């Protein structure tokens, strides 16, 4: 009988192995739940809105924290609307004597700009132990000992939570934190340029921290912020700056309850890495329930979130696309959002096709399978995706990518005509139309200046081209890149005929980058080839990201690859990237090329505080002309995002500036479950065939065994 047991065991084992365990990463209990499933590829480092400046972290932070303003989810161009504020504030202007000025007052006449923000009463914080109180009203967990937190690894380990109402003081406290040198807010220097007294306040805090007696944020005066009443606060600027209202939609301007910072400042929690950087405390629609950075991050609905409703209007075409079907319904729709760690694209893509992830981007490896083009050249979902009713949405991101020349470098830097021509020649030779086709499958719009489409100051057509790199083809009605012959002529005029200097030595340039992904090698080979067509030798200097940032910080490079995502939809947010006083090496700013042209600086200073108008557009044009001639950047392209979502995901619309978008999404869970079942049926016929062959193959052995048994009897 032992033989028969082996047969049965092997058969069952083969059946299990053959059928396999489906690669569904979720428990069966979640099958019909309205959960949104997504992915992340790198562990977020910061969840503190005063510190984080990364889009990978913002995708979580903006669901948890709430600045006073937000962008309308559907309208384009982008429109600011209230979030926690009752209305979008309109600044009041005053001169040096304190006299009120009209709204159209010239910037140089304005000595104070007062923004008064009133927040809505009744907004509550998520449940959190930092708010928990005992019967006497004392905070429970603000004098913890090691014994109190023995075995604790996250805030879920605390036995009680509490909440409280959002007040104006929480917004003021966050502004004070951003001035605190120990917090290291990445935009502090920019804030201090505008907010009254912020620089002096920061210095006072720094001096207090270095003293033996400790300090409090209230120990030093900060005239730029003021609490008016429980729900109202003011931010006071030193000058007129209309773009400041956009700042009020940035995560940096989210409220921070002092109870949270006091709670997390306890040494026994810091020792256990239980910090505000890992476990945020906000008023937003979601809170973090699970944080396992090497596995998953789970957001759940904030139980105390106020009543907010889905938009009732949008952009042209939104109603036809079904984006207004949920108008006026209470949001958020999703009770739970699950992010799984997926470092590799192919497994992520395959699980998306199986229905296990609700949305996906498109890599170059899968582009041909995912995208087809119609007769007009417009992209559409491929037949494979259409068969699954997968929806494609495209949008030009408010992003500019560029190659920056170090303007302090002896070879590629400088402002003389010969240096300009060298950079212009390189700009022509680096054919980014070709690059976009080869490496991006056409997902890019060639840039002519720092300003991307959709931002005031961007101009299409002949008026918008860079005349040093392109000429306008009247017949074709489009810009055409100048020839390599023209680039070689400019190179010769720059002092490097055929790529040789006056002594016959070859021109060698260094390209510093942090391109460490699998696709870096062919991209670097493409760049090297384009340089060689001019007779220039490009030496690659790839390093890890930290080393690369250090090189940029100290201007220890010749050419780098860099980019900028819009913080807010205004030309100033792009043109400041080349403003001299924002130089990275000297001032720690975002001007990585260390470009410093007095003519450009004067135009920027005039433009930055203006409202959008024909006069402002004319100044922007002049600024672009200066940049195009000096060529401190190789203007490369503005990326076009291709996003895919399954048919059961409702209300999905690209919104690169408005990051707090999860609250608008809805999932048809039964439809998803139905499609998952249809797409992931186990294939069992080979197993039954194997089982049949196995049985047939064992019949002779069974007969033999039976005869032996009979013979023994």
The pLDDT tens digits for 166-221 are: 999 999 999 999 999 999 999 998 899 999 999 999 999 988 876 555 678 988 99
pLDDT of 389: 96
Count of CA atoms in the C-beta half-sphere (13 A) of 370: 22
More confident residue, 179 or 17: 179
In the predicted model, is pLDDT for residue 378 greater than 90?
A: no
Give pLDDT tens digits for 98-126.
Answer: 999 999 999 999 999 999 999 999 999 99
Burial 155-170 (b: 16+ CB within 10 A, else e): beebeebbbeebbbeb
In the predicted model, is pLDDT for residue 708 greater than 70?
A: no
Q: What average pLDDT does the chain have?
A: 92
**CB 117 within 8 Å of CB 167:** no
Q: What angle do CA 191, 192, 198 make, to 5 degrees?
A: 115
Rounded average pLDDT over 696-701: 67
In the predicted model, is pLDDT for residue 4 greater than 60?
A: no
- 155 phi, psi to nearest 5 deg: -70, -20
Name the E strands within 475-591: 478-481, 508-513, 537-542, 559-565
More confident residue, 597 or 206: 597
In the predicted model, is pLDDT for residue 293 greater than 60?
A: yes
CA dihedral 379, 385, 391, 395 (to 10 degrees): -30
All structural domains of the chain, each given as residue ranges with its CATH number in brackets, are: 2-20+687-712 (no CATH), 62-261 (3.90.76.10), 399-641 (3.10.105.10)
pTM for this predicted structure: 0.85
Name the E strands within 524-665: 537-542, 559-565, 633-645, 649-650
Spatial separation of the C-alpha atoms in residues 103 and 91, rounded to whole Å: 8
In the predicted model, is pLDDT for residue 465 greater than 90?
A: yes
Q: In the chain, what percentage of residues exceed pLDDT 70?
A: 92
Q: Is the dihedral of CA 463, 445, 626, 486 positive or negative?
A: negative
**CB 666 within 8 Å of CB 334:** yes
Give pLDDT tens digits for 37-80.
Answer: 999 988 888 999 999 988 889 999 999 999 999 999 999 989 99
pLDDT of 20: 46
More confident residue, 213 or 599: 599
pLDDT tier at 21 (50, 70, 90 boundaries)? very low
- Assign 45 to helix, strand or coil: coil
pLDDT of 215: 74
pLDDT tier at 14 (50, 70, 90 boundaries)? very low
In the predicted model, is pLDDT for residue 482 greater than 90?
A: yes
Spatial separation of the C-alpha atoms in residues 548 and 541, rounded to whole Å: 9
Give pLDDT tens digits for 531-555.
Answer: 999 999 999 999 998 899 899 999 9
């Amino acid at each position: 009988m032992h033989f028969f047991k082996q047969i049965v065991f092997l058969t069952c084992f083969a059946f299990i192995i053959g059928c396999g365990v489906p690669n569904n990463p979720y428990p069966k209990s979640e099958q019909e739940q309205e959960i949104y499933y997504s992915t992340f590829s790198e562990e977020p480092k910061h969840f503190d809105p005063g510190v984080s400046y990364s889009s990978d972290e913002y995708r979580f932070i903006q669901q948890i924290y709430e600045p006073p303003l937000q962008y309308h989810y559907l309208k384009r161009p982008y429109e600011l609307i209230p979030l926690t504020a009752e209305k979008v504030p309109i600044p009041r202007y005053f001169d040096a004597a304190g006299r009120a000025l009209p709204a159209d007052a010239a910037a140089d006449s304005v000595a104070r700009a007062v923004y008064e923000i009133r927040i809505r009463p009744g907004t509550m914080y998520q449940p959190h132990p930092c708010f928990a109180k005992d019967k006497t009203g004392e905070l429970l967990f603000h004098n913890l000992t090691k014994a109190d937190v023995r075995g604790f690894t996250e805030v879920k380990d605390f036995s009680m939570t509490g909440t409280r109402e959002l007040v104006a003081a929480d917004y003021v406290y966050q502004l004070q934190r951003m001035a605190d040198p120990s917090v290291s807010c990445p935009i502090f220097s920019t804030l201090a340029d505008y907010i009254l007294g912020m620089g002096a306040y920061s210095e006072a805090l720094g001096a207090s921290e270095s003293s033996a007696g400790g300090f409090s944020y209230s120990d030093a005066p900060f005239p730029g912020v003021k609490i008016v009443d429980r729900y109202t606060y003011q931010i006071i600027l030193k000058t007129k700056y209309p773009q400041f209202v956009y700042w009020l939609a940035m995560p940096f301007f989210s409220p921070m309850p002092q109870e949270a910072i006091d709670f997390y400042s306890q040494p026994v929690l810091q020792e256990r890495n239980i910090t505000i950087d890992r476990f945020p405390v906000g008023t937003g629609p979601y809170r973090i329930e699970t944080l396992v950075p090497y596995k998953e991050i789970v957001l759940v609905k904030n139980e105390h979130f106020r009543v907010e409703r889905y938009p009732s209007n949008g952009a042209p075409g939104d109603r036809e696309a079904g984006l207004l079907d949920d108008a006026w319904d209470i949001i958020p729709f999703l009770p739970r959002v699950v992010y799984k760690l997926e470092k590799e694209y192919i497994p992520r893509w395959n699980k998306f096709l199986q229905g296990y992830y609700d949305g996906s981007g498109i890599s170059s490896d899968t582009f041909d399978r995912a995208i087809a083009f119609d007769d007009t050249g417009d992209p559409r979902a491929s037949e494979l995706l259409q068969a699954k009713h997968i929806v494609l949405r495209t949008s030009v991101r408010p992003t500019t990518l560029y190659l920056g020349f170090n303007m302090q470098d002896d070879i590629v830097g400088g402002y003389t005509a010969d240096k300009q021509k060298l950079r212009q020649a390189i700009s022509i030779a680096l054919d980014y139309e070709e690059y976009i086709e080869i490496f991006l499958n056409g997902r890019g719009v060639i840039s002519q200046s720092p300003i991307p489409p959709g931002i005031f100051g961007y101009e299409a057509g002949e008026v918008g081209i860079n005349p040093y790199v392109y000429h306008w083809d009247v017949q074709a009605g489009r810009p055409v890149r100048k020839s390599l012959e023209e680039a070689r002529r400019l190179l010769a005029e720059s002092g490097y005929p055929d790529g040789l200097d006056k002594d016959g030595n070859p021109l060698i340039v260094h390209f510093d980058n942090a391109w460490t992904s699998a696709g870096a090698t062919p991209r670097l080979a493409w760049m090297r080839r384009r340089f060689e067509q001019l007779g220039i030798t490009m030496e690659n200097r790839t390093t890890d990201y930290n080393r690369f940032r250090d090189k940029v910080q100290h201007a220890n490079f010749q050419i780098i690859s860099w980019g900028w995502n819009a913080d807010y939809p205004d030309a100033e947010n792009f043109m400041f990237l080349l403003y001299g006083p924002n130089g990275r090496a000297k001032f720690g700013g975002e001007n990585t090329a260390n470009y410093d042209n007095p003519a450009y600086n004067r135009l920027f200073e005039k433009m930055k505080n203006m409202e959008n108008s024909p006069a402002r557009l004319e100044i922007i044009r002049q600024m672009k002309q200066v940049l195009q001639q000096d060529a401190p950047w190789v203007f490369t392209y503005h990326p076009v995002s291709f996003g895919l979502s399954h048919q059961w995901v409702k209300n999905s619309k690209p919104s690169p500036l408005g990051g707090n978008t999860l609250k608008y999404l809805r999932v048809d869970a039964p439809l998803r479950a139905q499609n998952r079942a249809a797409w992931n049926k186990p294939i069992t016929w080979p197993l039954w065939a194997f089982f049949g062959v196995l049985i047939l193959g064992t019949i002779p052995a069974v007969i033999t065994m039976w005869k032996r048994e009979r013979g023994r009897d």
